[in-house]
Amino acid sequence: MAKIGIILGSLRKESFSKKIANNVASLFPEGYEAEIVEIGNLALYNQDFDDENNVPAEYTAFRNKMKEIDAVLFITPEYNRSVPAVLKNALDVGSRPYGASVWDGKPAAIISQSPGSLSAFGANHHLRQSPNSSTT
């Protein structure tokens, strides 16, 4: 069974991202299991946590969960022509400590959405530019 982790760029309980995720999760064919991975509880990334071996439990839980995931689907709105801070923070938490990125070798896809005329083009573009390796 392939595990697909869905990461939402919006924390709002009635967000468009969450509604899309719930719909898309039901569309995966047999043999795939999709689940939303929580990122709203992650403290802002601070390298001192890793350097001083004082990693928050939420970082560890997130990193361990992502290690179990075979592929990632990001579903995000656009905030100020880019990705929401909560999503960028999750990318940062997952890419550290150096050499232990949970993103390495993981296929990913992006669904960006916005009621605006550009349909979250900026968020989609910026998310594709975010490093996805341990070299960040």
Tens of pLDDT along the chain (136 residues)? Answer: 999 999 999 888 889 999 999 999 999 999 999 999 999 999 999 999 999 999 999 999 999 999 999 999 999 887 777 788 899 999 999 999 989 999 999 999 999 887 777 667 666 655 766 655 333 3
Cis peptide before 97 (omega within 30 of 0): yes
- Which CATH number goes with the domain that contains 62? 3.40.50.360
Flag whether 72 is in a domain: no
Flag whether 135 is in a domain: no
For residues 30, 14, 12 and 36, what is the CA-based torsion angle, rounded to 10 degrees?
Answer: -10
Both tokens assigned to 45: 């990334």
Closest C-alpha to 91, from 119, 123, 52: 123
Closest C-alpha to 7, from 112, 126, 130, 135: 112
Look up the domain containing 58 and give its range. Answer: 2-67+84-129
pTM of the model: 0.88
